[in-house]
Structure 1
Amino acid sequence: MPTQRALKLYRQTQSDHDQDRVQLYAPLVKKIAYHMVARLPSSVEVDDLIQVGLMGLMEAARNFDPNAGVQFETFATQRIRGAMLDELRNADWMPRQTRRNMREIESCVHKLEHQLGHAPSEGEVAKAMDLPLEEYQQMLGDARGHQLLYYDDFEDDDGNSQLDQFVADTTANPFEALADSGFRQVLIEGINALPEREKILMALYYDEELNLKEIGAVLGVTESRVSQLHSQAIARLRARLKDWTGR
C-alpha cells in the first residue's frame, strides 16, 4: 500500500520527534479527508485524499518552527488541506460541463437578485433558466463539491493572477488580503441574505462540522437534497461575490 511505503521511507529519513508528530496527528488527516470528501463527487476516493494529506502532514512535521508562534495543529491543518486541494486541482475532478452549468446558475441568481430584491427561490431560478425544477435540482446535485472561490476567479483576461504576488513570500497570507479588500464583509452579507434553511445548513456544515448525512437528519431531508441545497447556497454566495471580484 503506497501510504505504508511512504510512512516507512519517512521513518528512515526523519527524526524521532518528527515521526512522533506524524503518528500523533495522523487521525487529523483522516478527519479532514472525510469532511472534504463529503462535498466532492463520488469519483474522488477518500483513500487518495488521506494519502496526499499524510504527505502534507509529513511536510508540516519537517518544516514546523516552534518559535513562529503558531501551534503545530494549526500549521499542519493548513498543509494537509493544501496538499489535498492541490491534488484535486491537478486531477480536475469537476467536469467542465458541470462548471459551465454552475456559472450559468450563478449568473441567473445574480440577475434575479438585482431584479427581485431578494434571494430567488429554486422555482424562480429554474423558470428563468427555462428548466423543469427537477432538472435544475439535478444540476445542483451534479455540482457537489462546488467551491466558494477558485484561483482563476482572480485571473485577468491575460491569465495573470492577483494572488501570484503571495506565492514567493511564505509569510504572506492571501486570505488577509482578501479580507482587506472587503471579501469578509461581502461574504457576511451574503450569508445573512441566504434563505433560512440554507443558512442553517452552512452553519451546521462549516461551524459544527456535521457531514451531509447528519445535516439531512437535522433538516429532515435526504443526503442528496442537502448536497443540492449546499450547491445552491454556494451559487448564491458566488453570485454575491461577482460584484466584488468584478467577474
Structure 2
Amino acid sequence: MPVLEFVARRIAKRVRGEVAVDDLMALGRPALLEVARTFDPNRAKFSTYTALKVKWAIFDGLRRETSFGRAASARAKALAASARFSEGVAKLEGRLEDGELATEEVYQHRLRTLLDGHAAALALGLLTSSGEPDAVAGGAENPEESASRAELKRALAVAVRNLPERERALVERHYFGGEAFDAIARDLGISKSWASRLHAGAIQSLAASLRQGEIL
C-alpha cells in the first residue's frame, strides 16, 4: 500500500471515520511534492520521511479545513499535539546508551511523565479547538463533565502563563493563535528541531503543573 494511502487510512480511524480516506489523501498529496524537493537519503529512510510529511500535512489540513466539521478538526488538533509531543520527547531525551539499563523506578517515572505529557497535549489541543464539547465528545456533556472541563481549561491557562517566555510564546501562538509551528520557530530564530524540543519541554511543564494541582 502506498505511503499516502497508508497514513490516510490510519488517520481516518483516529478521527472515527468522520472524514473520507480520499479527502485525507487529498490533504496529504501536496506533501509528496515537498518530499520530492527535500528528501535526503543520507539523513532518513524514504518511507519514514514521507509518512511524517504526509501526516503533518493531513493534520494541518484538518485543523484549517472547516468543511469536515468541528469535531474532526478538534480531534486532529489534539492528535497533532500528542504526536508533536512524542517527536519532541524523542529529541529531548534521546535513547538510552547501549548497555544502559533503566531501573523499574526510572522506567515507571519515565512512563508516568510520558503519559501525563500525552494527556496534557491532548487536553491542550482539544480545549483550544473551535469544536463544541458535545461535538468532540460524541454527546452532550452533563453538568459534572462541563465543570471538570472548565476547571481543566482554567488550570491550563494558568499553567501556560507560568511557562518560560519562549515556551509560552510557542504554546500561545500555536494553540491559541492558530499560527503554523514552522512559522513560529522561524520568528523565534530557532530551528524546527529545537522548537520541537521546546514544545516537549513546555508540555511536560504543563503536565507537571496539572499533576501538582491534582487535575491529572
For Structure 1 versus Structure 2, the TM-score category normalised by the shorter chain is 0.3 to 0.5
Highest Rg: 1 or 2? 1
Q: What is the TM-score normalised by the length of structure 1?
A: 0.40
